[in-house]
Amino acid sequence: MNALKKYLALPLLVLALHQGQAVAGDALTPKEVTSTFYGWYVDQYLADHTPVEDNAPDLMRYVSEKALGNLTVLMQRPQGQTEDYFLKSNDNGESWKGNVTVTEQSATDTTAFEKVVVGLNYLDKKEVQVALEKEVDGWRIVAVTDLQASAD
């Protein structure tokens, strides 16, 4: 991300944070929130949109202020954000479109962990673990971990 985009994205994130989060749906389970988010996010990513910059209000339906704060810190580093925060990738895979699988790993009343697999082909498949927390108005993504990097 070039410096101009980085500095334009930050005010959008701050504005979105102060306007409050739209309801992701209190009735949605962590798995449903994760599935809906990643289906939408991968479509945006493959269409060369930058959801963090282009669709901050949509992003906030699924992502906590905590995660957006972490992302803002990463974007402000001198080297910027070196990979996509939610996909843990610099590229996109040919098999990603329409191929998002979410598996619940664990859940309590207030926290949940979901495994997300994007893509089918072992050459371009991405696997991440998504941590969610229950907020007043529903489940939100608070962190994303690259499972492939953890396995190396």
- Tell me the pLDDT of the chain (152 aa) as tens digits: 444 344 444 444 444 443 444 444 458 999 999 999 999 999 998 988 877 777 678 888 999 988 888 888 877 877 766 788 899 988 888 899 999 999 999 999 999 999 999 999 888 899 999 999 999 999 999 999 999 875 55
HSE-up (13 A, CA, CB side) for residue 81: 24
pTM of structure: 0.78
In order of their start, the domains of the chain are 3-151 (3.10.450.50)
